[in-house]
């Protein structure tokens, strides 16, 4: 009887079987494909968000410029911020997590592969949803933090798109967070204890917990904004006793952990790259892990430093000033550990290493200017000036983006089987480093001279002309560096310098698999015996502590031999490895939600109904489809 | 040997690193997230419960009907009992009894939702609306989101009943009931907090 039922189910909900072609990507639940799609999509949004920044810089290059109207300028800087935060830095981190976490912990996939696909598709569609607002009467124009009551009263639909679009992105992040928490806690290979996990996996775990607890808070804030804009609620209406500060508190209780959500994955990447290219284990592994966890906890107690100018009173200001200074301690611990890792190492200055060193250097500058914000009187002077813009670009661009590019160069050969050109990579790095400092360095000076942020133009004769023009040159230098990166990806693909399984002589489990890894990652689930397990299988400490190869021969042949040996072992029962089958339903479910969103924005209740029907179809199909495709 | 091995292979899922079930761990994580969701809504309510501007409609104490809401709260709490009985039944392998208890749970949930719809309508006719006052906004959005959670729960309970009737619950029936039970109990517990904070603590 059971088989009859099974066959009926197969007829109604047949699972897709395509292995190649675009349809196979749209239905894929393979964490590696989803990871690649995340990174590719995020890089596309990076180009869009970067272009917005270039237009902004053109507008500000000279005083009294007229390229953008005040209104268009508001939309551009708001969308630039939203894009870079929610559609670039977060998904780049999530993409690398997707690709790497199962490989690093010796798993065949994440805990919930279909949920993973759902997260990706909802992220893409929510990004397109946000951008559709440009064609539908105006993009969000109230700043990325959408302060109420301005955000409830702006006339275009822009801020309604903001409230719904970020809600959808939040749902995608939440699903991803649950997935990664379960994956890391439950899917580790035998012997992969928590304190043997690569630091990148640790930082992913902390990030996932931050997402888990931060997303519901912004969800409530966004719902309150949505109900205010669409259904006439009065949460933030001072005339009816509404409290604008409520939005600020809810937003920054999310917003400050969000900062760490963006930076921790980059810190994880740097903690993998520096040991590999210094040929030393990470200095103070435990300290790095625990300071990451400490940042995760303390990140919840500093939010009001974004509100020092709001008049919370001396007690609250002092408390948050202290907690903000304290959170610099675990960050400082990490920086010293990274420097300690490089100290005395046999450093190879390959592109990923340069980006990681760039990360450490730029992040120190951004971190120090951050400490100046903790001083309340000083912050009162800096609030809403370009000094703030300088600070957060030093941590999020100089920090997160440099770290993420380090990761992209480092793991590119793993994902595609060929290495990116080191020469072009170095051109990319130096252009980006110079362009970055030209763009954002002078903003410190302009900010201290009093130039406010979010102004669409400025008059002549304030002494701001030179620095602003220089910043615009810097912005285009960054753009040129990104162009070099894209040229590099295309050229390297043509030349195709085969990487082999372990091109960097690295330390962690993902380098034991072929490049690119097979769909099932490991033919045999690895047995982990130590931290940096792969390195310890290749090297043993010599008489004076220096690493000595276990096998004779060249680096490449050793790596290849051992990989071959590791993967030669057959499954003793002769079973094939069962991987989760592709599925349509994550995509179906993800399509329904933005349709509901459009319905709410335009109060088209039939459209909401269609969206709900699609969501239900996706959900029931998800539950009822058979576990595997027909063999 | 074969008997015990059979039991393990029925689930055909590899053991996890901690021995905890993946789906259950995921549900607990999700419920942790939900705590922050309701926590933020309740904070908003606590900020606004005493803020009704002059001429902006009724104050909380003028409008709440404590005996009425106590009865519907009791109904919702009883649904946790029937949920437990449903799980006990399926763990004993009795899917018929499980269906009865699940239907009872869903029915109690629907009674609660019916009561909430009546309450909302009543309040609206007495001048409390989403846009009347910050109290109105906070009340309707908080209790409304709780009602939406109960509704989703009812939908999942009825789906379980339907799948069980069609014989599609599979070998993991007890785990599926337990998962949805976790969600259901959570939503009940949230209501205990809401009932206390919103209805029982006197306002000005």
ipTM above 0.90, yes or no: yes
Residues A509-541: pLDDT tens digits? 999 999 999 999 998 889 999 999 999 999 888
Alpha-carbon gap: A292 to the closest alpha carbon of chain B (Å): 20
Res A570: pLDDT: 40
Q: Which of A235, A520, A617, A626 to mutate to test the interface with B (most CBs of B within 10 A)?
A: A235
CB contact under 8 A, A220 and B41: yes
Is residue B157's pLDDT more than 50?
yes
Using 50, 70 and 90 to split pLDDT, how confident is the model at A574? Answer: very low
- Give just the sign of the alpha carbon dihedral A385, A387, A391, A396: positive
Average model confidence (pLDDT) across chain A: 91
C-alpha span between B61 and A151 (Å, rounded): 32
The answer to whether A160 and A141 have CB atoms below 8 angstroms apart is no
What is the model's pLDDT at position A546?
76
Mean of the per-residue pLDDT values of chain B: 91
% residues pLDDT > 90 (chain B): 80
Of B20, B52, B134, the CB nearest to A186: B20
Provide the whole-model pTM: 0.93
Using a pLDDT cut of 70, give the percent of chain A over it: 93
C-beta atoms of A237 and B159 within 8 A: no
Provide the shortest C-alpha distance from residue B76 to chain A (in Å): 24
- pLDDT value of residue B51: 87
Q: Give the model's pLDDT for residue B3.
A: 37
The tokens describing A70, both together, are 């005040």
**B29 closest CB neighbour out of A181, A237, A242:** A181
Which chain B residues contact residue A213 at CB under 8 A? 32-33, 36
Q: How far apart are CA A596 and CA A622, in angstroms?
A: 19
What b/e readout covers A38-47, taking b as 16+ CB neighbours within 10 angstroms?
bbebbbebbe
Give the per-residue SS3 of A372-398: HHHCHHHHHHHCCEHHHHHHHHHHHHH
pLDDT of A506 over the 80 cut: yes
- pLDDT of A581 reads 87
Q: What is the pLDDT of residue B16?
A: 86
Taking the CA of residue B85 and the nearest CA in chain A, the distance in Å comes to: 24
Which residue spans within A470-586 are E strands per DSSP?
539-541, 547-549
The tens digit of pLDDT for each residue in B108-144 reads 999 999 999 999 999 999 999 999 999 999 999 999 9
Q: How confident is the model at residue A631 (pLDDT cuts 50, 70, 90)?
A: very low
Verify whether the Cβ–Cβ distance A188 to B17 is below 8 Å.
yes
Residue B6 has pLDDT above 70, yes or no: no
**Is some CB atom of chain B closer than 8 A to the CB atom of A232?**
yes
Give me the residue from B25, B52, B130 closest to A186, CB to CB: B25
CB A138 within 8 A of CB A156: yes
- A95 or A551, which is more confident? A95
Residues of B in contact with A212 (CB under 8 A): 29, 32-33
> Could you tell me which residue, A413 or B167, shows the higher pLDDT?
A413
Contacts of A66 by beta carbon, 8 Å cutoff, 6+ apart: A457
CB distance A447 to A390 below 8 Å:
yes
Separation of alpha carbons A251 and A208, rounded Å: 19
Q: Which of A446, A354, A432 is nearest to A391 (CA)?
A: A446
pLDDT at A547: 79
Residue A539 backbone phi and psi in degrees, to 5: -130, 150
Using a CB-CB distance cutoff of 8 angstroms, which residues of chain A are in contact with residue B17? Answer: 185-188, 192
How confident is residue A386, by pLDDT bands cut at 50, 70 and 90? very high
Per-residue pLDDT band at A12 (split at 50, 70, 90): low
CB of A289 closer than 8 Å to CB of A201: no
Residue A626 — φ and ψ, nearest 5°?
-65, 160
Phi, psi of A83 (to 5 degrees): -65, -50
Q: Which residues of B touch A216 (CB under 8 A)?
A: 33-37, 40
Of the candidates A473, A478, A474, A472, the residue with the CA atom closest to the CA atom of residue A60: A472
| Residue A126 pLDDT greater than 80, yes or no | yes
Contact B37 A231 (CB under 8 A): no
For A260-295, how does the pLDDT look when each residue is reduced to its tens digit (9 = 90+)?
999 999 999 999 999 999 999 999 999 999 999 999
Query: Which residue among A1, A212, A234 sits closest to B33, beta carbon to beta carbon?
Result: A212
Per-residue model confidence as pLDDT tens digits over A225-249? 999 999 999 999 999 989 999 999 9
How much is the pLDDT for A131? 97
Q: Is the CB of B25 less than 8 angstroms away from the CB of A181?
A: yes
User: What is d(CA A488, CA A425) in angstroms, rounded to the nearest whole number?
Assistant: 7
Contact (CB<8Å) B134/A213: no
Q: Compute the average pLDDT of residues A314-331.
A: 94
- Which residues from chain A sit within 8 angstroms of residue B130, using beta carbons? 227, 231-234
Residue A188: per-residue pLDDT: 95
Is there a contact between B25 and A237 if contact means CB atoms under 8 Å apart? Answer: no
Q: Which of B13, B17, B50, B135 to mutate to test the interface with A (most CBs of A within 10 A)?
A: B17
Q: Chain A residue closest to B57 (CA)? A: A240
Q: How far, in Å, CA of B2 to CA of B4, rounded?
A: 6
Task: Compute and round to an integer the Cα radius of gyration of chain B.
Answer: 20
CB–CB of B26 and A232 under 8 A? no
C-alpha torsion A437→A440→A445→A449, nearest 10: 160
Nearest to A216 among B40, B56, B133 (CB): B40
Q: What is the pLDDT of residues B54-80, one digit of tens each?
A: 888 999 999 999 999 999 999 999 999
Structure confidence by residue, pLDDT tens digits, A100-113: 999 999 999 999 99
Over residues A51-56, mean pLDDT: 97
Write out the two tokens for A276: 């590999």
CB pairs under 8 A between A and B: 120
Write down the pLDDT at residue B14: 64
Q: Is A235 part of the contact surface with chain B (CB cutoff 8 Å)? A: yes
Q: Per-residue b/e over A425-464, b at no fewer than 16 CB within 10 Å?
A: bebbbebbbebbbbbbbbbbbbbeeebebeebbbeeeeeb
Confidence label for A551 from pLDDT (cuts 50, 70 and 90)? low
**DSSP-assigned beta bridge partners for residue A418:** A498
Of B37, B141, B163, the CB nearest to A227: B141
pLDDT tens across B47-56, in order?
A: 999 888 888 8
Could you report the per-residue pLDDT of A586-612, keeping only the tens digit for each? 999 999 999 999 999 999 999 999 999
Chain A 460-499, CB below 8 Å of chain B: which residues?
none
CA distances from A154 to A147, A159, A577, A598 (A): 11, 7, 56, 18
- Would the pLDDT of A559 be above 70? no
B contact test, residue of A109, A184, A220 with most B CBs within 10 A: A220
pLDDT of res. A628? 66
Q: What token pair was written down for A6?
A: 């099974």
Tokens 């949230």 — which residue? B190
A243 touches chain B (CB under 8 A): yes
Nearest CA in chain B to A108: B14
Query: Which residues of B have a CB under 8 Å from any CB of A?
Result: 16-18, 20, 22, 25-26, 29-30, 32-37, 40-41, 44, 47-48, 51-53, 56, 130-134, 136-138, 140-141, 145, 159, 163, 166-168
Quote the strand ranges of A178-224, DSSP E: none
Q: Which residue of A has its CA nearest to B34?
A: A216
Q: Give A 161-180 residues with CB within 8 A of chain B.
A: 174, 177-179
Distance between CA A124 and CA A22 in Å, rounded?
16
Q: Does A212 touch chain B (CB under 8 A)?
A: yes
**Nearest residue of B to residue A216 by CA position?**
B37
Residues of chain B with C-beta less than 8 angstroms from the C-beta of A1: 167
Q: Rounded to whole angstroms, what are the CA distances from A456 to A134, A383, A419, A476?
A: 19, 18, 43, 19
Contact criterion met (CB < 8 Å) for B34 and A242: no
SS3 per-residue string spanning A495-507: HCCECCCCCCCCC
Query: Per-residue pLDDT for A381 more than 80?
Result: yes
DSSP string, A318-373: HHHHHHHHHHHHHHHHHHHHHHHHHTT------HHHHHHHHHHHHHHHHHHHHHHH
Position B170 confidence tier, pLDDT thresholds 50, 70, 90 = confident
Give B132's contacts in chain A (Cβ within 8 Å). 234
Residue A565: what pLDDT?
Answer: 39
Q: Min CA distance, B130 vs chain A (Å)?
A: 5
Expressed in percent and rounded to 5, the helix, strand and coil fractions of chain B are: 75, 0, 25
Residue B86, H or E segment: helix B66-91
């Amino acid at each position: 009887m059971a088989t009859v039922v099974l066959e009926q189910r197969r007829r109604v909900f047949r699972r897709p079987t395509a292995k190649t072609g675009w349809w196979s990507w749209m239905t894929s639940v393979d964490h590696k494909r989803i990871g690649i799609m995340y990174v590719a999509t995020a890089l596309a949004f990076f180009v869009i968000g970067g272009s917005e920044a270039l237009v902004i810089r053109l507008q500000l290059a000279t005083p009294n410029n007229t390229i953008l109207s005040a209104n268009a300028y508001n939309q551009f800087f708001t969308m630039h911020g939203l894009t870079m935060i929610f559609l670039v830095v977060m998904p780049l981190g999530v993409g690398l997590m997707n690709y790497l976490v199962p490989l690093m912990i010796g798993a065949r996939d994440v805990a919930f592969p279909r949920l993973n696909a759902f997260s990706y598709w909802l992220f893409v569609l929510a990004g397109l949803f946000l951008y559709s607002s440009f064609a539908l009467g105006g993009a969000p124009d109230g700043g990325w933090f959408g302060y109420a009551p301005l955000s409830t009263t702006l006339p275009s639909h822009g801020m309604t798109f903001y409230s719904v679009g970020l809600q959808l992105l939040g749902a995608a992040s939440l699903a991803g967070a649950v997935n990664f928490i379960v994956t890391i806690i439950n899917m580790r290979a035998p012997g992969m204890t928590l304190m043997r996990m690569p630091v990148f996996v640790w930082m992913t775990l902390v990030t996932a917990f931050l997402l888990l607890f931060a997303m519901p808070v912004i969800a409530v804030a966004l719902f309150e904004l949505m109900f205010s804009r669409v259904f006439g609620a009065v949460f933030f209406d001072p005339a009816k006793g509404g409290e604008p500060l409520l939005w600020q508190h809810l937003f920054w209780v999310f917003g400050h952990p969000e900062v760490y959500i963006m930076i921790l994955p980059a810190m994880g990447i740097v903690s993998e790259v520096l040991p590999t290219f210094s040929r030393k284990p990470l200095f103070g592994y435990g300290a790095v892990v625990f300071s990451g966890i400490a940042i995760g906890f303390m990140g919840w107690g500093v939010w009001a430093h974004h509100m020092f100018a709001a008049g919370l009173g001396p007690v609250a200001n002092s408390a948050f000033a202290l907690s903000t200074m304290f959170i610099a301690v675990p960050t400082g611990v990490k920086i010293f550990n990274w420097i300690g890792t490089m100290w005395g190492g046999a450093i190879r200055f390959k592109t990923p290493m340069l980006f990681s060193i760039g990360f450490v250097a730029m992040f120190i500058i951004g971190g120090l200017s951050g400490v100046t914000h903790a001083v309340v009187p000083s912050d009162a002077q800096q609030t809403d000036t370009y000094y703030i813009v300088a600070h957060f670009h030093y941590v999020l661009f100089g920090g997160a983006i440099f770290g993420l590019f380090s990761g992209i160069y480092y793991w590119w050969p793993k994902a595609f089987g060929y290495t990116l050109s080191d020469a072009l990579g170095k051109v990319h790095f130096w252009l980006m480093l110079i362009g970055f400092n030209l763009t954002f360095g002078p903003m410190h000076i302009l900010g201290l001279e009093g130039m406010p942020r979010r102004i669409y133009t400025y008059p002549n004769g304030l002494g701001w002309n030179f620095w602003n023009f220089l910043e615009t040159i810097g912005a285009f230098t960054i753009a040129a560096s990104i162009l070099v990166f894209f040229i590099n990806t295309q050229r390297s693909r043509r030349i195709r310098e085969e990487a082999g399984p372990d091109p960097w002589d690295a330390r962690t489990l993902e380098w034991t698999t072929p490049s690119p890894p097979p769909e099932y990652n490991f033919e045999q689930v690895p047995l982990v015996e130590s931290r940096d397990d792969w390195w310890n299988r290749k090297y043993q400490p010599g008489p004076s502590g220096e690493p000595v190869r276990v096998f004779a021969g060249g680096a490449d042949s050793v790596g290849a031999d051992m990989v071959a040996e590791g993967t030669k072992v057959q499954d003793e029962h002769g079973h094939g490895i069962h991987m989760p089958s592709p599925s349509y339903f994550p995509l179906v479910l993800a399509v329904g939600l933005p349709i509901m969103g459009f319905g709410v924005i335009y109060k088209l209740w039939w459209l909401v109904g269609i969206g709900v029907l699609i969501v239900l179809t996706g959900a029931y199909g998800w539950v009822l489809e058979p576990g595997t495709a027909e063999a | 040997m074969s008997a015990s091995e059979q039991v393990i292979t029925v689930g055909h899922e590899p053991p996890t690193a901690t021995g905890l079930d993946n789906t259950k761990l995921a549900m607990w994580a999700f419920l942790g997230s939900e705590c922050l969701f309701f926590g933020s809504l309740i904070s908003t309510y606590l900020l606004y419960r005493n803020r009704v501007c002059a001429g902006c409609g009724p104050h909380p104490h003028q409008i709440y009907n404590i005996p009425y809401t106590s009865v519907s709260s009791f109904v919702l709490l009883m649904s946790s009992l029937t949920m437990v009985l449903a799980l006990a039944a399926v763990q004993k392998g009795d899917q018929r009894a499980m269906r009865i208890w699940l239907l009872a749970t869903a029915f109690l949930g629907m009674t609660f939702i019916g009561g909430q719809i009546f309450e909302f309508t009543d309040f609206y006719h007495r001048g409390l609306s989403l846009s009347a006052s910050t109290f109105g906004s906070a009340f309707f959005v908080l209790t409304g989101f709780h009602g939406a959670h109960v509704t989703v729960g009812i939908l999942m309970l009825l789906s379980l009943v339907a799948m069980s009737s069609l014989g599609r619950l599979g070998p993991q029936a007890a785990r599926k009931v337990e998962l949805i039970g976790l969600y259901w109990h959570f939503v009940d517990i949230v209501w205990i907090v809401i009932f206390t904070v919103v209805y029982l603590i006197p306002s000005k």
